[in-house]
Every structure is written in C-alpha cells, then in structure tokens.
Chains A and B, each alone.
Chain A
C-alpha cells in the first residue's frame, strides 16, 4: 500500500467523500498539476484494485463519474438492517415509458403514447417528479409539445455509464434503421 501512487490515494479519498459520482472533469479541474491522462490511469488502477480485493463494495463507473457502491449480493442485508429504506419501486407502465424516453430521446409524450398505444400522462408526471426524466425543450411542430430526455439520476439509479451503456441499444438502433427513422 505504501508504494502506491499518491495521486491514486488523493483521488480515492475525493471519491470517498463525494455525494455524487465524481467525474474526471471535476477531478482534473481540482488537481491542475496532473495531466488528464494520469488521472484517467489512476482511476483505472483504482477500479481494478477495488474489484480485485473481493470487498463488499466496489468502485463503479456511473453516469460519467466514479462512486463507491455495494455489491448487489448484499442488498437483502442492507434493506433488512435499514428498515426505513423503502425498496425501489416502479410500475411496468412507468418502466416502459422510461425505456422509450431513454432510447428515443428527445421525445414527446405523444410519440411515447403512439408506441405504447395508451395514455401515458400519469407515468410521465411520475417520472418527472422522481427526476428520472426532464423537459429538454419543445418540438417545432404545431402545438409545440414538450420534449423529454433522461437525467443523470436515471443513469445513476440504473447503474449506467452513459446512454450508450443501455441494454440492447444496438438492437433498437437497428429497428430505427429498418423503419427508416433517423438514428
């Protein structure tokens, strides 16, 4: 441990005390004396070290930043110990709306409803309230409807690095091509 790169240790403690995933950008703005490349290397090293230690928590690369998270196999102990933790709940309908917004963003409510074939108002307002989606602007069509996109909290909650990290994104891209939609 003693011959460890001091930079690695500095970054590690910054991540440890950070409330949100710490991005390379944030770290390099603070540690101006180091090259971005050095920081990236140190982060890679840290990630590997924590993963290799067989600990109950690991360093995860989430929403473009780094954060310590527990391993999923211990969830039942954590929930049991912290009775006030209400387990994450999302309805099937809300999850479908979230998936459509995630893959098709920016997207209007009407476009989402066209795919699902049902009214999605309550799911959309619930997802807005939970800050999984947000308004990104208005579509330039009659009525100027709101456009929705997913938030960083969405990435953080579902453990995604970025939107390219979404499951089966390639498959969905392919449907878009098949249907002659602009990717």
Chain B
C-alpha cells in the first residue's frame, strides 16, 4: 500500500510548482509582471497554500520557501530606499523574482509547444510500429495536462467556501466513511453516462466538507491517471469534465 503522505505529494506534483502558481495569480489578477503588487500577490499566494493544506494536499518545501521569499521582498519594499553614494540606484527587490518568473514562463511555453508537435506514437506512426520495441515497457506516467490546474483549484475553493456556510450535515455525527476509490468509480460512471459534466455539478450531492474533498481528490486522481479530461471552451466559461479518448 502507498502511504497517504506520498500519495498527496504525487497529487501536488500535477501542479508545476510555486513559480507556476505565481504566474497563475499574476494572470488572474491582471497585473503587470514587471510591476507586481507584492503585498496583494503574497496574500493570494498564502491563501492558496492555506487552502491546499485544508484539503489535505501536502504543501511541499518549495512552496514554503517561495512564501518566505515573498515575505522578504514585501518587507524590503516597505523600507525606504536609501540611495547609496556608490550605487546610482538601488535594485528593485522584485527584480530577481521577475527574472525567474519570465525565464520559467519561456520554458513552460516551450514545453507546451513541444507537446503540440507531431509526436511519434501519438500523431504519426511508422510501418510495423511497435511501441514496446521503441520505448520499452510503458511506465506509470501522469498525463500531459495542458489545462491550467490552478483554475480547477480556484473553482473548487469557491464551491468549498460557499458550501461551508450552508453545511447541512455534521461531519462528526455522520457515521459514513468516504473512500476515494469508491468515489472515483461513481464519478467515472456519471461522466460515462452524461458524456460531459460541469465540474461543479460533481459536488452536488456532497453534504459536508469531507465529501467535497474526497470528490476533489478523486477528480485529481482521475485526471492524473488519464481517465478523465478537463475541457473549458474559454477562460470565462465553466469547466467541464469529459472522459479521455
């Protein structure tokens, strides 16, 4: 059996790390990457980490050290800038972070383009194509998800806080236990029947926070295993879940 701790970290591995999260927050807040409102973005970043912890996704060290770095930049921004006699102008405390964000973004885009090439074994084939011969036995590997998983977290976070107010079932009084395994099967069944389902609708029957989290984790796992796929026609439209072809 897999121990639960490592299972969580695998799930978080689906997300591409703290720089990816920061880029997502910058895009979402529609702020200029060259003039990041550090206090605002730091606050959002910490809220995210809190939320990930609430839903039992292990927040690994890298996310924590980025939080510390943001805090440090924020504090330096608050200090009055002292002009040194030797230096003409003091460096913007955000400069190093912006450089890293831009560098990471370029490679992330390059990875996207690479994933869009005509790939052997996916788009194009050879005569007598033998996958085993070419690549060896297929290994357990997570699906290439082009979709922005942070947007999925955004939606879930909204559902979670909405539902919190209207909690209808006391978790401690409920004798039921919830297994991700069972929930996975149910979700696959629903999606198979309906062909496509709004992400939000999958949480409809979940009457307490525990159930919400189990559903969310189940969906993440199904995405990772390449059983389900996410589909969002445009940034403004609600997220749909479909079976992967």
**A→B interface (CB under 8 Å):** 16, 57, 60, 67-72, 75, 78, 82, 84-96, 98-100, 102-103, 115-119, 122, 126, 129-131, 153, 156-160, 166-168, 171-172, 175, 179
Contact = CB atoms under 8 A, between A and B. Distances in A.
A60 B143 CA distance: 27
B119 interface: yes
A86 B138 contact: yes
Interface string B118-142: 1111111111010100111011011
A16 B19 CA distance: 47
Contacts of A72: 118, 123-124
15 contacts: A69-B120, A86-B131, A91-B143, A92-B146, A94-B144, A95-B112, A98-B111, A116-B107, A117-B17, A117-B66, A118-B16, A131-B136, A158-B119, A160-B117, A166-B110
A88 B144 CA distance: 10
B136 A129 contact: yes
Given A91-B144, A117-B19, A159 B109 contact: no
A123 to B, nearest CB: 9
A158 B111 CA distance: 12
Contacts of A75: 122-125
Contacts of A99: 107-108, 110-111, 114
B18 A179 contact: no
B110 A103 contact: yes
B99 A117 contact: no
Contacts of B100: 115, 117
A96 B13 CA distance: 13
Given A75-B125, A159-B118, 18 more contacts: A72-B124, A78-B125, A82-B129, A86-B131, A91-B141, A93-B142, A95-B112, A100-B107, A115-B100, A116-B17, A118-B16, A126-B141, A131-B135, A159-B119, A167-B113, A168-B110, A171-B106, A175-B106
Interface residues on B, range: 35 or more
Contacts of A153: 134
A117 B120 contact: no
Contact of A179 (B103, B107, B134): B103
Interface of B: 13-14, 16-19, 60, 62, 66, 99-100, 102-104, 106-115, 117-127, 129, 131, 134-136, 138-139, 141-146, 226
Nearest to A85: B131
A140 B139 CA distance: 33
Contact of B119 (A129, A157, A166): A157
B107 A115 contact: yes
Contacts of B106: 168, 171-172, 175
Nearest to A90: B144
A69 to B, nearest CB: 5
Contacts of A95: 111-112, 114-115, 144
B144 A85 contact: no
Nearest to B103: A115
